[in-house]
A and B are shown apart, each in its own frame.
Chain A
């Protein structure tokens, strides 16, 4: 690909690709801008009741207020930290459990029906029990996040393990590999794509768990702001919190995508 002299056709092809990309990004931006303007105008002209729908300028004002009061980062930090702890815990725990299941087919067979039931159980139903058991605090929120994402992580990672090409395992066995070597040299690296996919789902579920937990426990965090805002009918606060939440979730997703790229350079 080091050649500099491309044919005219190739140049046109590249140009077309670039135009296409530009069009997509431009349309995205226009849609967003249009939506914000429409929202603002509709609220200004009182087509919609900005008391319950809020409006962009009010969101902005709330944002500035939160920022100057110094509470913005406190709430954001609380939620992000809980999510990261929840996410990391369920990733590590889920991977360890998946390794145990892979290591012992016996345990895996025994555990199978339990995992199926746990998987289909709506974990939110356990919320009140968690509150009773660990108290209404950050721990409860993290436990909630872990519960929601753990089983998905286990089954995602474990199915990655079992999908590993049997012949690759045979190959390392011909070199005399131990079970631990099979795990570290073949099964884990071969599963990186599935594991990172599981992580992407996991991070989303961790947010769900944390916000759910904050709804229930409500002392600080974006989830708390949302609940509080709706209770005192301050929809500006609710909208602002949701906006910050989407930004934070987007950033975290990008970080995972970046890790994925680092981990799987051969893709």
Chain B
């Protein structure tokens, strides 16, 4: 692997409350290469969101190290719901990150607007979020994240609020946007189909405290590597079954 853009070393996180403490992640170690699409799967409540929150700087780790290849690396975080602000138009929603980082220059704003055009929301720029469908809103949320031009994208179950059909479409849609923009991405999901069709590597976590149980390199022999085609790759089912077994889901 080339020099990683991000290396995580022995990350550990303990949550504290009056009732005691919760060891959420333990000795989480991972190197992530440039342009890689990493997907993290694991039982619910195992600590996936915690990992992303620490990477994004929203939480402090109890111990461990996070090293970025350069100090000025910009991160983009995408959450489960779009969280578009109802009082802002789509365009103003997309400017949000630039405004907060005091980078709302004419040039950056034009770039953001171009993203909106490129990804098919041009007609809805002046609309309020309530006027858009769930899929379009999620795409607007991704554009809002891309507008600050992040090198690394963190995505926390970004599609799970969508219904099944929209989800398939949006996964393809957003997956190809991320590939086209050549971003490094770390995504959490509980949908294995989604995971296999997007990932270069899939990290399977144990139940809490999250420890890396196994890492799958996903190599699919499909023609164009779009998520849709990936789902039809001959290796797909194999990966699915193997990872499902690793996840060890008990009802």
Q: Which A residues have a C-beta under 8 Å from some C-beta of B?
A: 165, 167-168, 170-177, 181, 185-186, 189-190, 192, 264, 266
A192 to chain B, nearest CB (A): 7
Asked if A171 and B148 sit within 8 Å, CB to CB, the answer is no
Asked if B81 and A175 sit within 8 Å, CB to CB, the answer is no
Bound: A167/B79 CA distance, A: 8
> Which single residue of chain A is at the shortest CB-CB distance from B52?
A174
Beyond A185-B96, A266-B128, is A175–B101 a contact (Cβ under 8 Å)?
yes
Chain B, residues 97-113, CB within 8 Å of chain A (1/0): the string is 10111000000000000
Bound: A124/B75 CA distance, A: 56
Q: Which B residues have a C-beta under 8 Å from some C-beta of A?
A: 56-58, 75-77, 79, 81, 83, 85-87, 96-97, 99-101, 128, 130, 148
Bound: A241/B101 CA distance, A: 56
Bound: A190/B57 CA distance, A: 24
Kindly identify which residue among A171, A176, A181, A266 contacts B86, using a CB–CB cutoff of 8 Å: A266
A13 to chain B, nearest CB (A): 23
Asked if B97 and A175 sit within 8 Å, CB to CB, the answer is yes
Asked if B100 and A172 sit within 8 Å, CB to CB, the answer is yes
Bound: A266/B83 CA distance, A: 15
Other than A167-B79, A192-B87, give 20 A-B pairs with Cβ distance below 8 A: A167-B81, A168-B83, A170-B58, A170-B79, A173-B58, A174-B76, A174-B77, A175-B100, A175-B101, A176-B100, A176-B101, A177-B100, A181-B100, A185-B96, A186-B85, A189-B87, A190-B87, A266-B86, A266-B128, A266-B130
Asked if B58 and A175 sit within 8 Å, CB to CB, the answer is no
Asked if B87 and A266 sit within 8 Å, CB to CB, the answer is yes
> Which single residue of chain A is at the shortest CB-CB distance from B89?
A266
| Residues in A whose Cβ lies below 8 Å from that of B97 | 175
B149 to chain A, nearest CB (A): 12
Beyond A192-B87, A266-B86, is A172–B96 a contact (Cβ under 8 Å)?
yes
16 sample A-B contacts, Cβ–Cβ < 8 Å, listed by A number: A167-B83, A171-B79, A173-B58, A174-B76, A174-B77, A175-B96, A176-B57, A176-B100, A185-B96, A185-B99, A185-B100, A189-B85, A189-B87, A190-B87, A264-B87, A266-B86
A171 to chain B, nearest CB (A): 5
- Centre residue among B57, B85, B130 by max chain A CB count within 10 A: B85
Bound: A170/B86 CA distance, A: 16
Asked if B130 and A171 sit within 8 Å, CB to CB, the answer is no
| Residues in A whose Cβ lies below 8 Å from that of B58 | 170, 173-174
| Residues in B whose Cβ lies below 8 Å from that of A167 | 79, 81, 83
| Residues in B whose Cβ lies below 8 Å from that of A181 | 100
A-B pairs, top 8 by smallest CB distance, nearest first, are A174-B77, A175-B100, A175-B97, A266-B128, A177-B100, A171-B83, A189-B87, A168-B83
Bound: A173/B86 CA distance, A: 18
Bound: A24/B97 CA distance, A: 48
| Residues in B whose Cβ lies below 8 Å from that of A170 | 58, 79
| Residues in B whose Cβ lies below 8 Å from that of A190 | 85, 87
B124 to chain A, nearest CB (A): 14
| Residues in A whose Cβ lies below 8 Å from that of B76 | 174
Bound: A175/B144 CA distance, A: 10
Bound: A157/B40 CA distance, A: 41
A248 to chain B, nearest CB (A): 31
A172 to chain B, nearest CB (A): 6
Bound: A175/B97 CA distance, A: 6
Bound: A217/B143 CA distance, A: 61
Beyond A167-B79, A266-B128, A266-B130, is A175–B86 a contact (Cβ under 8 Å)?
no
| Residues in A whose Cβ lies below 8 Å from that of B130 | 266
> Which single residue of chain B is at the shortest CB-CB distance from A267?
B86
| Residues in A whose Cβ lies below 8 Å from that of B99 | 185
Bound: A175/B83 CA distance, A: 13
Bound: A168/B79 CA distance, A: 10
A221 to chain B, nearest CB (A): 39
